[in-house]
A and B are shown apart, each in its own frame.
Chain A
Amino acid sequence: MRNERRLRFASALVAVGGVAITVYLLYVRASGATLACTTGGCETLQHFASAEVFGLPVAALGLTAFAGLVAAALARGGWARIAQATLALSAVLFSAYLLWLQVGRIGALCQWCLGSDLLITLLAALALVRLGLPPLATATAPVRPGPKKRPQGSRTNRKPRPQQRPQRR
Protein backbone atom coordinates (compact mmCIF):
# COMPACT_ATOMS: atom_id res chain seq x y z
CA MET A 1 0.00 0.00 0.00
CA ARG A 2 2.97 2.22 -0.52
CA ASN A 3 1.24 3.69 -3.61
CA GLU A 4 -1.80 4.56 -1.53
CA ARG A 5 0.35 6.40 0.97
CA ARG A 6 2.18 8.33 -1.75
CA LEU A 7 -1.08 9.28 -3.43
CA ARG A 8 -2.55 10.47 -0.17
CA PHE A 9 0.52 12.52 0.64
CA ALA A 10 0.66 14.07 -2.84
CA SER A 11 -3.07 14.86 -2.75
CA ALA A 12 -2.81 16.51 0.65
CA LEU A 13 0.13 18.59 -0.54
CA VAL A 14 -1.65 19.79 -3.70
CA ALA A 15 -4.82 20.53 -1.74
CA VAL A 16 -2.84 22.65 0.73
CA GLY A 17 -1.69 24.70 -2.28
CA GLY A 18 -5.36 25.23 -3.17
CA VAL A 19 -6.11 26.27 0.41
CA ALA A 20 -3.32 28.87 0.17
CA ILE A 21 -4.73 30.35 -3.06
CA THR A 22 -8.28 30.60 -1.77
CA VAL A 23 -7.20 32.04 1.58
CA TYR A 24 -5.24 34.73 -0.29
CA LEU A 25 -8.25 35.58 -2.48
CA LEU A 26 -10.52 35.80 0.55
CA TYR A 27 -8.00 37.96 2.40
CA VAL A 28 -7.80 40.40 -0.53
CA ARG A 29 -11.57 40.48 -0.77
CA ALA A 30 -12.02 41.17 2.93
CA SER A 31 -9.19 43.67 3.33
CA GLY A 32 -9.71 45.54 0.07
CA ALA A 33 -6.00 45.13 -0.76
CA THR A 34 -4.86 45.15 -4.39
CA LEU A 35 -4.84 41.71 -5.95
CA ALA A 36 -1.51 40.69 -7.49
CA CYS A 37 -2.41 39.90 -11.09
CA THR A 38 -0.52 39.48 -14.33
CA THR A 39 -3.48 38.50 -16.49
CA GLY A 40 -5.36 41.74 -15.86
CA GLY A 41 -8.79 40.27 -15.18
CA CYS A 42 -8.46 39.26 -11.52
CA GLU A 43 -9.83 42.49 -10.05
CA THR A 44 -12.72 42.44 -12.51
CA LEU A 45 -13.66 38.84 -11.86
CA GLN A 46 -13.48 39.18 -8.08
CA HIS A 47 -16.40 41.57 -8.12
CA PHE A 48 -18.71 39.91 -10.59
CA ALA A 49 -22.04 38.44 -9.74
CA SER A 50 -20.71 35.02 -10.68
CA ALA A 51 -17.97 35.37 -8.07
CA GLU A 52 -20.67 34.65 -5.48
CA VAL A 53 -23.13 31.83 -5.03
CA PHE A 54 -26.04 33.10 -2.96
CA GLY A 55 -23.86 35.66 -1.24
CA LEU A 56 -21.01 33.24 -0.57
CA PRO A 57 -17.80 34.06 -2.45
CA VAL A 58 -16.66 31.35 -4.86
CA ALA A 59 -13.26 31.54 -3.15
CA ALA A 60 -14.95 30.46 0.10
CA LEU A 61 -16.48 27.49 -1.73
CA GLY A 62 -13.03 26.72 -3.08
CA LEU A 63 -11.53 26.90 0.41
CA THR A 64 -14.18 24.48 1.70
CA ALA A 65 -13.47 22.10 -1.17
CA PHE A 66 -9.69 22.21 -0.79
CA ALA A 67 -9.90 21.83 3.00
CA GLY A 68 -12.24 18.87 2.51
CA LEU A 69 -9.79 17.37 0.05
CA VAL A 70 -6.94 17.71 2.56
CA ALA A 71 -9.06 15.88 5.13
CA ALA A 72 -10.13 13.19 2.65
CA ALA A 73 -6.53 12.69 1.57
CA LEU A 74 -5.38 12.24 5.14
CA ALA A 75 -8.22 9.84 5.97
CA ARG A 76 -7.92 6.12 5.32
CA GLY A 77 -10.49 3.67 4.06
CA GLY A 78 -12.76 3.07 1.14
CA TRP A 79 -15.29 5.76 1.99
CA ALA A 80 -12.50 8.34 2.26
CA ARG A 81 -11.50 7.44 -1.29
CA ILE A 82 -15.08 7.83 -2.50
CA ALA A 83 -15.49 11.16 -0.69
CA GLN A 84 -12.20 12.46 -2.06
CA ALA A 85 -13.01 11.46 -5.65
CA THR A 86 -16.56 12.85 -5.45
CA LEU A 87 -15.40 16.16 -4.01
CA ALA A 88 -12.55 16.52 -6.50
CA LEU A 89 -14.62 15.55 -9.54
CA SER A 90 -17.53 17.86 -8.67
CA ALA A 91 -15.00 20.66 -8.08
CA VAL A 92 -13.48 20.03 -11.52
CA LEU A 93 -16.91 20.23 -13.15
CA PHE A 94 -17.78 23.46 -11.33
CA SER A 95 -14.34 24.90 -12.18
CA ALA A 96 -14.94 24.09 -15.85
CA TYR A 97 -18.20 26.06 -15.65
CA LEU A 98 -16.41 29.00 -14.00
CA LEU A 99 -13.72 28.90 -16.68
CA TRP A 100 -16.41 29.01 -19.34
CA LEU A 101 -17.89 32.06 -17.58
CA GLN A 102 -14.50 33.80 -17.56
CA VAL A 103 -13.75 33.14 -21.20
CA GLY A 104 -17.18 33.05 -22.79
CA ARG A 105 -19.32 35.43 -20.83
CA ILE A 106 -17.03 37.94 -19.14
CA GLY A 107 -13.97 37.72 -21.37
CA ALA A 108 -11.45 38.14 -18.56
CA LEU A 109 -9.00 35.67 -17.10
CA CYS A 110 -7.58 35.47 -13.60
CA GLN A 111 -4.28 33.73 -12.91
CA TRP A 112 -5.44 32.66 -9.45
CA CYS A 113 -8.54 30.99 -10.85
CA LEU A 114 -6.44 29.26 -13.50
CA GLY A 115 -3.99 28.10 -10.81
CA SER A 116 -6.87 26.75 -8.76
CA ASP A 117 -8.27 25.00 -11.86
CA LEU A 118 -4.93 23.34 -12.46
CA LEU A 119 -4.66 22.13 -8.86
CA ILE A 120 -8.20 20.80 -8.75
CA THR A 121 -7.69 18.90 -12.02
CA LEU A 122 -4.52 17.35 -10.62
CA LEU A 123 -6.36 16.46 -7.40
CA ALA A 124 -9.16 14.80 -9.34
CA ALA A 125 -6.66 12.71 -11.30
CA LEU A 126 -4.92 11.63 -8.08
CA ALA A 127 -8.25 10.88 -6.39
CA LEU A 128 -9.43 8.74 -9.31
CA VAL A 129 -6.17 6.79 -9.33
CA ARG A 130 -6.55 6.23 -5.59
CA LEU A 131 -10.15 5.13 -6.08
CA GLY A 132 -9.01 2.54 -8.63
CA LEU A 133 -6.44 0.96 -6.28
CA PRO A 134 -7.27 -2.48 -4.85
CA PRO A 135 -9.35 -2.29 -1.69
CA LEU A 136 -7.38 -1.81 1.48
CA ALA A 137 -9.31 -4.65 3.12
CA THR A 138 -7.41 -7.39 1.17
CA ALA A 139 -4.40 -6.76 3.33
CA THR A 140 -6.32 -7.54 6.52
CA ALA A 141 -8.87 -10.02 5.18
CA PRO A 142 -9.82 -12.73 7.64
CA VAL A 143 -8.05 -16.01 6.95
CA ARG A 144 -10.32 -18.74 5.80
CA PRO A 145 -10.34 -21.81 7.98
CA GLY A 146 -8.68 -24.82 6.44
CA PRO A 147 -5.32 -26.24 5.83
CA LYS A 148 -2.73 -23.58 5.58
CA LYS A 149 -0.72 -23.44 2.46
CA ARG A 150 2.51 -21.63 2.36
CA PRO A 151 2.36 -19.13 -0.44
CA GLN A 152 5.04 -19.63 -2.98
CA GLY A 153 7.71 -17.03 -3.08
CA SER A 154 6.43 -15.38 0.04
CA ARG A 155 9.16 -14.76 2.51
CA THR A 156 6.96 -13.28 5.17
CA ASN A 157 5.31 -16.56 6.12
CA ARG A 158 8.48 -18.53 6.17
CA LYS A 159 10.00 -19.41 9.46
CA PRO A 160 13.30 -17.70 9.79
CA ARG A 161 16.05 -20.20 9.63
CA PRO A 162 18.70 -19.86 12.24
CA GLN A 163 21.78 -18.70 10.57
CA GLN A 164 24.66 -21.01 10.88
CA ARG A 165 28.11 -19.83 10.74
CA PRO A 166 30.23 -21.71 8.33
CA GLN A 167 32.60 -23.79 10.33
CA ARG A 168 36.17 -23.04 9.78
CA ARG A 169 38.49 -25.76 9.51
Chain B
Amino acid sequence: MSGLPSSRHRFALVLALSLLIAAGLITASELSAGKTGTETGREPAPPATDRLLAGIPQRGAALGSPTAPLTLVEYADLQCPYCGHWAQATLPVLVDRYVRSGRLRIVFNGMAFVGPDSNKGLLTALAAGRHGHLWDLVHGLYERQGAENSGWVSDGLIEEIAAGVPGLDGGRLLEERWDDRVGHELSAAAARAQQAGITQTPSFQLGPTGDTLERVDVSSLEPDGIVPQIEEALAR
Protein backbone atom coordinates (compact mmCIF):
# COMPACT_ATOMS: atom_id res chain seq x y z
CA MET B 1 0.00 0.00 0.00
CA SER B 2 3.04 2.22 -0.04
CA GLY B 3 2.61 5.29 -2.26
CA LEU B 4 -1.09 5.57 -1.53
CA PRO B 5 -2.27 8.78 0.07
CA SER B 6 -3.65 8.75 3.58
CA SER B 7 -7.37 8.36 4.18
CA ARG B 8 -8.12 12.10 4.33
CA HIS B 9 -5.95 12.77 1.31
CA ARG B 10 -7.63 9.95 -0.60
CA PHE B 11 -11.03 11.62 -0.22
CA ALA B 12 -9.60 15.03 -1.13
CA LEU B 13 -7.92 13.52 -4.21
CA VAL B 14 -11.12 11.77 -5.31
CA LEU B 15 -13.19 14.94 -4.84
CA ALA B 16 -10.72 17.10 -6.75
CA LEU B 17 -10.41 14.65 -9.64
CA SER B 18 -14.19 14.16 -9.82
CA LEU B 19 -14.85 17.89 -9.95
CA LEU B 20 -12.24 18.27 -12.66
CA ILE B 21 -13.66 15.45 -14.81
CA ALA B 22 -17.28 16.57 -14.34
CA ALA B 23 -16.39 20.18 -15.17
CA GLY B 24 -14.65 18.98 -18.34
CA LEU B 25 -17.65 16.91 -19.41
CA ILE B 26 -20.14 19.69 -18.69
CA THR B 27 -18.06 22.21 -20.63
CA ALA B 28 -17.78 19.78 -23.55
CA SER B 29 -21.54 19.18 -23.46
CA GLU B 30 -22.33 22.90 -23.44
CA LEU B 31 -19.89 23.60 -26.26
CA SER B 32 -21.23 20.66 -28.24
CA ALA B 33 -24.85 21.78 -27.76
CA GLY B 34 -23.93 25.35 -28.61
CA LYS B 35 -22.58 24.27 -31.99
CA THR B 36 -26.05 23.25 -33.12
CA GLY B 37 -27.89 25.95 -31.17
CA THR B 38 -29.67 28.90 -32.66
CA GLU B 39 -29.69 32.48 -31.64
CA THR B 40 -32.92 33.88 -30.32
CA GLY B 41 -34.43 36.94 -31.93
CA ARG B 42 -33.14 36.28 -35.39
CA GLU B 43 -33.81 38.47 -38.35
CA PRO B 44 -37.46 38.79 -39.37
CA ALA B 45 -38.35 36.16 -41.93
CA PRO B 46 -38.98 37.08 -45.52
CA PRO B 47 -42.60 36.78 -46.57
CA ALA B 48 -43.69 33.30 -47.55
CA THR B 49 -44.38 32.72 -51.22
CA ASP B 50 -46.95 30.06 -50.57
CA ARG B 51 -50.24 31.37 -51.91
CA LEU B 52 -52.09 30.81 -48.65
CA LEU B 53 -49.54 32.46 -46.39
CA ALA B 54 -47.99 34.98 -48.74
CA GLY B 55 -47.68 38.42 -47.20
CA ILE B 56 -49.04 37.43 -43.80
CA PRO B 57 -46.70 38.11 -40.88
CA GLN B 58 -45.54 35.10 -38.88
CA ARG B 59 -43.97 35.45 -35.49
CA GLY B 60 -43.13 32.25 -33.61
CA ALA B 61 -46.33 30.20 -33.59
CA ALA B 62 -48.56 33.15 -34.45
CA LEU B 63 -49.95 33.87 -37.89
CA GLY B 64 -51.36 37.33 -38.58
CA SER B 65 -51.04 40.82 -37.27
CA PRO B 66 -50.03 41.06 -33.59
CA THR B 67 -52.57 43.89 -33.28
CA ALA B 68 -55.50 41.82 -34.57
CA PRO B 69 -58.43 42.23 -32.16
CA LEU B 70 -59.17 38.52 -32.01
CA THR B 71 -56.93 35.51 -31.33
CA LEU B 72 -57.74 31.92 -32.19
CA VAL B 73 -55.53 29.22 -30.68
CA GLU B 74 -55.49 25.90 -32.49
CA TYR B 75 -54.42 22.83 -30.51
CA ALA B 76 -53.40 20.23 -33.04
CA ASP B 77 -51.24 17.20 -33.68
CA LEU B 78 -49.47 17.09 -37.03
CA GLN B 79 -50.42 13.44 -37.46
CA CYS B 80 -54.08 13.88 -36.55
CA PRO B 81 -56.15 13.41 -39.74
CA TYR B 82 -58.94 15.67 -38.46
CA CYS B 83 -56.43 18.46 -37.90
CA GLY B 84 -55.19 17.85 -41.43
CA HIS B 85 -58.70 18.14 -42.75
CA TRP B 86 -59.34 21.35 -40.82
CA ALA B 87 -56.07 22.79 -42.14
CA GLN B 88 -57.10 22.02 -45.71
CA ALA B 89 -60.79 22.90 -45.54
CA THR B 90 -61.19 25.69 -42.99
CA LEU B 91 -57.85 27.40 -42.43
CA PRO B 92 -57.66 28.88 -45.96
CA VAL B 93 -61.13 30.39 -45.48
CA LEU B 94 -60.19 31.94 -42.15
CA VAL B 95 -56.92 33.26 -43.55
CA ASP B 96 -58.55 34.87 -46.56
CA ARG B 97 -61.55 36.21 -44.69
CA TYR B 98 -60.11 37.33 -41.34
CA VAL B 99 -56.33 36.96 -41.00
CA ARG B 100 -55.33 38.75 -44.20
CA SER B 101 -57.51 41.71 -43.25
CA GLY B 102 -55.88 41.93 -39.81
CA ARG B 103 -58.98 40.99 -37.84
CA LEU B 104 -57.81 37.59 -36.61
CA ARG B 105 -54.55 36.15 -35.42
CA ILE B 106 -54.16 32.35 -35.29
CA VAL B 107 -51.72 30.69 -32.90
CA PHE B 108 -50.64 27.10 -33.49
CA ASN B 109 -50.23 25.18 -30.24
CA GLY B 110 -48.80 21.88 -31.36
CA MET B 111 -49.23 18.66 -29.46
CA ALA B 112 -47.29 15.46 -29.99
CA PHE B 113 -49.31 12.64 -28.52
CA VAL B 114 -49.85 10.43 -31.57
CA GLY B 115 -46.24 9.28 -31.69
CA PRO B 116 -42.65 9.83 -32.82
CA ASP B 117 -43.59 11.43 -36.14
CA SER B 118 -45.74 14.00 -34.29
CA ASN B 119 -42.79 14.80 -32.09
CA LYS B 120 -40.34 15.12 -34.97
CA GLY B 121 -42.73 17.20 -37.05
CA LEU B 122 -43.60 19.54 -34.21
CA LEU B 123 -39.97 20.09 -33.25
CA THR B 124 -39.16 20.91 -36.87
CA ALA B 125 -42.12 23.31 -37.05
CA LEU B 126 -41.01 25.00 -33.82
CA ALA B 127 -37.48 25.29 -35.18
CA ALA B 128 -38.94 26.88 -38.33
CA GLY B 129 -40.90 29.20 -36.05
CA ARG B 130 -37.62 30.62 -34.81
CA HIS B 131 -37.09 31.83 -38.38
CA GLY B 132 -40.69 33.02 -38.75
CA HIS B 133 -41.84 30.05 -40.83
CA LEU B 134 -43.72 27.75 -38.46
CA TRP B 135 -46.93 27.97 -40.48
CA ASP B 136 -45.15 27.15 -43.73
CA LEU B 137 -43.86 23.96 -42.18
CA VAL B 138 -47.14 23.07 -40.48
CA HIS B 139 -49.18 23.60 -43.60
CA GLY B 140 -46.61 21.79 -45.74
CA LEU B 141 -46.75 18.79 -43.41
CA TYR B 142 -50.55 18.74 -43.36
CA GLU B 143 -50.58 18.80 -47.16
CA ARG B 144 -48.31 15.74 -47.21
CA GLN B 145 -49.64 13.95 -44.12
CA GLY B 146 -48.81 10.22 -44.11
CA ALA B 147 -49.92 7.19 -42.14
CA GLU B 148 -49.48 7.50 -38.38
CA ASN B 149 -45.93 6.81 -37.20
CA SER B 150 -44.89 5.32 -40.53
CA GLY B 151 -41.80 7.50 -40.55
CA TRP B 152 -43.39 9.88 -43.03
CA VAL B 153 -41.86 12.94 -41.31
CA SER B 154 -38.55 12.13 -42.95
CA ASP B 155 -35.56 14.39 -43.41
CA GLY B 156 -36.22 14.32 -47.14
CA LEU B 157 -39.78 15.59 -46.65
CA ILE B 158 -38.62 18.41 -44.38
CA GLU B 159 -36.01 19.45 -46.93
CA GLU B 160 -38.60 19.28 -49.68
CA ILE B 161 -40.99 21.58 -47.78
CA ALA B 162 -38.20 23.93 -46.73
CA ALA B 163 -36.97 24.15 -50.32
CA GLY B 164 -40.27 25.77 -51.25
CA VAL B 165 -39.94 28.44 -48.57
CA PRO B 166 -37.48 31.23 -49.38
CA GLY B 167 -35.14 31.97 -46.49
CA LEU B 168 -35.53 28.57 -44.90
CA ASP B 169 -32.54 26.24 -44.92
CA GLY B 170 -33.78 22.64 -44.64
CA GLY B 171 -30.42 21.23 -43.56
CA ARG B 172 -30.06 23.81 -40.84
CA LEU B 173 -33.62 23.19 -39.72
CA LEU B 174 -32.90 19.48 -39.32
CA GLU B 175 -30.07 20.33 -36.93
CA GLU B 176 -31.81 23.12 -35.09
CA ARG B 177 -34.90 21.08 -34.25
CA TRP B 178 -32.87 19.16 -31.65
CA ASP B 179 -31.76 22.32 -29.91
CA ASP B 180 -32.62 22.35 -26.21
CA ARG B 181 -34.53 25.61 -26.53
CA VAL B 182 -36.79 24.13 -29.22
CA GLY B 183 -37.43 21.23 -26.88
CA HIS B 184 -38.35 23.68 -24.18
CA GLU B 185 -40.87 25.30 -26.53
CA LEU B 186 -42.39 21.86 -27.18
CA SER B 187 -42.70 21.21 -23.46
CA ALA B 188 -44.22 24.64 -22.91
CA ALA B 189 -46.81 23.97 -25.63
CA ALA B 190 -47.70 20.65 -23.99
CA ALA B 191 -48.05 22.41 -20.63
CA ARG B 192 -50.36 25.05 -22.13
CA ALA B 193 -52.54 22.33 -23.65
CA GLN B 194 -52.70 20.53 -20.34
CA GLN B 195 -53.56 23.74 -18.52
CA ALA B 196 -56.34 24.42 -21.02
CA GLY B 197 -57.67 20.89 -20.44
CA ILE B 198 -57.21 19.83 -24.06
CA THR B 199 -57.76 16.11 -24.51
CA GLN B 200 -58.46 15.90 -28.24
CA THR B 201 -57.37 17.56 -31.44
CA PRO B 202 -58.20 19.80 -33.08
CA SER B 203 -59.43 21.98 -30.20
CA PHE B 204 -59.76 25.73 -30.20
CA GLN B 205 -59.73 28.73 -27.91
CA LEU B 206 -60.99 32.12 -29.01
CA GLY B 207 -60.99 35.55 -27.44
CA PRO B 208 -59.73 39.12 -27.55
CA THR B 209 -55.97 39.33 -28.20
CA GLY B 210 -54.07 39.62 -24.94
CA ASP B 211 -57.11 38.72 -22.88
CA THR B 212 -58.47 35.46 -21.51
CA LEU B 213 -59.42 33.02 -24.25
CA GLU B 214 -62.37 30.69 -24.04
CA ARG B 215 -62.80 27.20 -25.34
CA VAL B 216 -64.77 27.00 -28.59
CA ASP B 217 -66.72 23.89 -29.51
CA VAL B 218 -66.74 23.57 -33.27
CA SER B 219 -69.81 21.95 -34.75
CA SER B 220 -67.84 20.60 -37.71
CA LEU B 221 -64.39 20.72 -39.27
CA GLU B 222 -65.72 22.76 -42.18
CA PRO B 223 -65.67 26.61 -42.15
CA ASP B 224 -69.28 26.67 -40.96
CA GLY B 225 -68.17 24.99 -37.77
CA ILE B 226 -66.25 28.00 -36.51
CA VAL B 227 -67.10 31.04 -38.63
CA PRO B 228 -70.27 31.92 -36.62
CA GLN B 229 -68.26 32.00 -33.35
CA ILE B 230 -65.64 34.26 -34.94
CA GLU B 231 -68.30 36.58 -36.33
CA GLU B 232 -69.97 36.72 -32.92
CA ALA B 233 -66.70 37.49 -31.14
CA LEU B 234 -65.82 40.22 -33.65
CA ALA B 235 -69.23 41.78 -33.19
CA ARG B 236 -68.80 42.17 -29.42
Contacts and interface: CB of A to CB of B under 8 A. Distances in A.
Interface of A: 34, 43-45, 47-55, 58, 61, 78-79, 81-82, 85-86, 89-90, 92-94, 97-98, 101, 105-108, 128, 131-132, 135-137
A56 B91 CA distance: 43
B184 A105 contact: yes
Given A44-B186, A93-B22, A136-B1, A53 B180 contact: no
Size class of the contact patch on chain B:
35 or more
A-B residue pairs, 6 tightest by C-beta: A107-B187, A137-B1, A93-B22, A89-B18, A90-B21, A49-B33
Contact of B180 (A79, A81, A85, A101): A101
B17 A86 contact: yes
Given A79-B4, A108-B187, A93 B18 contact: yes
A120 to B, nearest CB: 12
A157 B129 CA distance: 80
A85 B14 contact: yes
Interface string B22-54: 100110110111011100000000000000000
Interface string B205-230: 00000000000000000000000000
Contacts of B14: 82, 85-86, 89, 128, 131
B183 A108 contact: yes
A97 B183 contact: no
Given A107-B184, A107-B188, A55 B32 contact: yes
B32 A135 contact: no
Contacts of B11: 128, 131-132
A50 B180 contact: yes
B150 interface: no
A51 B33 CA distance: 9
